[in-house]
Amino acid sequence: MSDNQIIMLGTGHATVTRCYNTCFVLKSGNDMLLADAGGGNGILSQLKKAHIDLADIHDMFITHAHTDHILGAVWIVRMVIQRMKNNTYDGCFSVYGHDKSLNVLDSICRSTLHVSYQAYLGKRVFFHEVKDADIFNVGDMEIQCFDIKSAKEKQFGFRAILPDGQKLVCLGDEPYNEANRLYAENADWLMCEAFCLYADREIFKPYEKQHSTALEAGIIADKLNAGNLLLYHTEDKNLPARKSKYTAEASQNFKGNIYVPDDLDVIDIA
Ligand SMILES: [Zn+2]
């Protein structure tokens, strides 16, 4: 088992019902970064199934303020504070995101959490606004945020430099923009959305939703000289065949390793 892992908590797009929305934990030793939290309370059962204790998570990154990424974060904040109140959570909890994401999260938390919970905001639960190119650290992992230049909704991806020097890039849930080549090229691990198969584009209509397919993900990974490609944020109509079909399509253009994880898959970053 590697010291570094990706623990996929969810792999689906916004309206899936057969799996959870895309979110994951990036783990290095005992340090964990939760990247997004899906669309609701389901994040709690995903963490439980993954045997992750909330008390071990002290950092969360929010890519953008769409429902399928940020509403689960409200539950994370609520449960972290509950643990703090019960003295079963040591230290502080930090949330990183751009101004829009944090404003939305703060606003929902203040509108929905009990006043005794709100007292923890800014005391032991901190919202850290990050700007394009800002760097923060989670243990020995260095995380650099970048604006993915979405035409739809302000969204940040990130590049993580792991303690062993490996580079992992999360492109968020929209197609790669050439403006981010500096961050994304030569990644050892490239995490890229694939809304559906190119073969199924007429069924799922990815392009009109500002999404792309496994075929384009393979083209991008090849162009960016990635080592490993991980596909996520997919449709969920045929999950048993997803791994083989998406891999086959992406491999037409990308010759490195391709991962199409199911929810709760753990991937060694080795
Ligand atoms: Zn999404």
User: How much distance in Å is there from the Cα of 50 to the middle of ligand 1?
Assistant: 21
User: How much distance in Å is there from the Cα of 63 to the middle of ligand 1?
Assistant: 9
User: How much distance in Å is there from the Cα of 115 to the middle of ligand 1?
Assistant: 30
User: How much distance in Å is there from the Cα of 190 to the middle of ligand 1?
Assistant: 17
Q: DSSP character for 258?
A: E
Query: Does 44 map to a domain?
Result: yes
Query: Does 159 map to a domain?
Result: yes
Query: Does 179 map to a domain?
Result: yes
Query: Does 269 map to a domain?
Result: no
Q: How far apart are the first and last CA of the chain?
A: 9
Q: What residue numbers bound the domain in which 63 lies?
A: 4-263
User: How much distance in Å is there from the Cα of 230 to the middle of ligand 1?
Assistant: 16
Contacts of 113 (CB under 8 A, 6+ apart): 74, 77, 78, 81
Helix 214-223 crosses helix 239-250 at what angle (to 10 degrees)? 40
Q: Give the C-alpha separation, 110 to 249, whole Å.
A: 45
- Show pLDDT as tens, one digit a residue, over the chain (270 residues): 679 999 999 999 999 999 999 999 999 999 999 999 999 999 999 999 999 999 999 999 999 999 999 999 999 999 999 999 999 999 999 999 999 999 999 999 999 999 999 999 999 999 999 999 999 999 999 999 999 999 899 999 999 999 999 999 999 999 999 999 999 999 999 999 999 999 999 999 999 999 999 999 999 999 999 999 999 999 999 999 999 999 999 999 999 999 999 999 999 998
Query: Does 270 map to a domain?
Result: no
User: Number of folded domains in the chain?
Assistant: 1
User: How much distance in Å is there from the Cα of 9 to the middle of ligand 1?
Assistant: 14
Model confidence, pTM: 0.98
Query: Does 101 map to a domain?
Result: yes
Instruction: List the CATH number of the domain containing 148.
Output: 3.60.15.10
User: How much distance in Å is there from the Cα of 6 to the middle of ligand 1?
Assistant: 18
